[in-house]
Amino acid sequence: MSIKIETANPKTQSIEAVKTLLAYVGRSCNPMPSFVELAGGVRLTRSKKGDAYYTTTSRDCSCPARAYNPGVACKHMKTVQAAMDNASIRPKMGSFKPVSLLPSEERCAMEA
């Protein structure tokens, strides 16, 4: 079974739909998570009232704030964008250098 998430026009998901999704992927739904990360930078974000999940990408969201302000990124979109930015700046394995010598320290290390 393949699940397709529409990202061009996100739709708010019911609690029952998210419970079904969580059961399908083998995750517990007790308690219901505040968000569910999906592939492709898509996130299901639980509403403040807890009665639905907004489908959120870095470009669009199904929340009411986005509908009322279509040209402005909502807080859900900003959270997804921040998570994507943090993931993209993480160093690759083996590139971490815990010490960076200043030019004057490099000269002293060479002379020693």
The amino acid at residue 69 is: N
Query: Which pLDDT does position 82 carry in this prediction?
Result: 86
Tell me what percent of the chain is helix, strand and coil, each rounded to the nearest 5: 40, 15, 50
Name the pLDDT band for 22 (thresholds 50, 70, 90): very high
Pick the residue with more confidence: 64 or 85?
Answer: 64
Q: For residue 83, what pLDDT is reported?
A: 81
pLDDT in tens, 37-50: 888 888 999 999 99
Q: How far is CA 47 from the centre of its chain?
A: 16
- For residue 76, give the H/E element and its range: helix 75-88
